[in-house]
Chain A
Amino acid sequence: MVVYSFYIFDRHAECIYKRRWLPRPSSVVASKSSRPTSEASAPATAPPAILGQSARTTDDDAKLIFGTVFSLRNMARKLGGEDDNFVTYRTSQYRLHYYETPTNIKFVMLTDIKSPSMRVALQQIYINLYVEYVVKNPLSPAEHPGGVGVNNELFEESLEQFVTRVLS
């Protein structure tokens, strides 16, 4: 299983943390990509899901993702009631996992399509990493405009460990 990227959005709809890991080995990408020629122009760190759109920045990605999960979630609630929420969706290239806390913090993770449900993993990240290292850090502000306070060493390192050791 491969984790491509990870995002946190706060209750003000701002992306307060984003992180990308190395993409799949290029051979795998090449075999699956319908347009292998575009791969060369893609940034080395971009996951295959957005290959071919090299002009787009990571900020744009975050906004796109927020728009997607926000709409999906509202749709899920309209159809399934106030307590309903969507858990994951997949495309032919990637799978998006979603977890939202009652405080409206949204955790999003993009993985390869073979991965199992990451809902529990995202919840673990919230409980064991976000709450422990971000919320309980007295030096970090209560809100994190621009990601202030989230990008601390403990959180980043633990996240790195969690993703590389626990998830793969």
Chain B
Amino acid sequence: MSYYFTVLSPTDVPLFNIAFGTSKSGGDGIARFRFPDTAQYMNQFIIHSSLDVVEEAQWMNGNMYLKHIDTYPPASAYISAFLTPSGARFLLLHQPPQLPTNASSATTGSSSLLGSSFSGSAGSSSRASASSVAANPTSPQTEEAVRQFMTEVYENYVKTVMSPFYRQGMEIKSSVFRSKVTAAGRKWL
């Protein structure tokens, strides 16, 4: 699984971006998107296009974690969202690796498969695969893992914006925050 995580200000200004891969089941933590040439801007595009859904979903329940809210099938990209009470939005794009068969997902080291960047809509196959976090973006286990990740990032986000030298709406350049997000990703995703 490859991830792209963004923090957006209440006025949709990107404050923080990070791309990383899974560290579960032998993953090496490096992001390998299906379309590496275009991933850089496509990921941002996909995330931003989900904002409308976020704005709808935020009124549906009182939770900060909105779960999986949007899917972009051409890149089999799944978006999960988390809202802070102050209106900042955490958006996580996750893209399952393209697996040849369902059975192999649990046993085979995923890193070897992730290297290739061939195309094709594998969304349906991976959605049906085993419930491991790395493979199934809509399973309850994945939702739970993402929730844990979001909560941990939120805690660190609060600490970061509490720094007296951080001003509201400023890009988060803190290396500490970046490493904390990386650590949270390694821990939960």
Q: Do chains A and B touch in the complex (CB under 8 A)?
A: no
Residues in chain B within 8 A of chain A (CB atoms): none
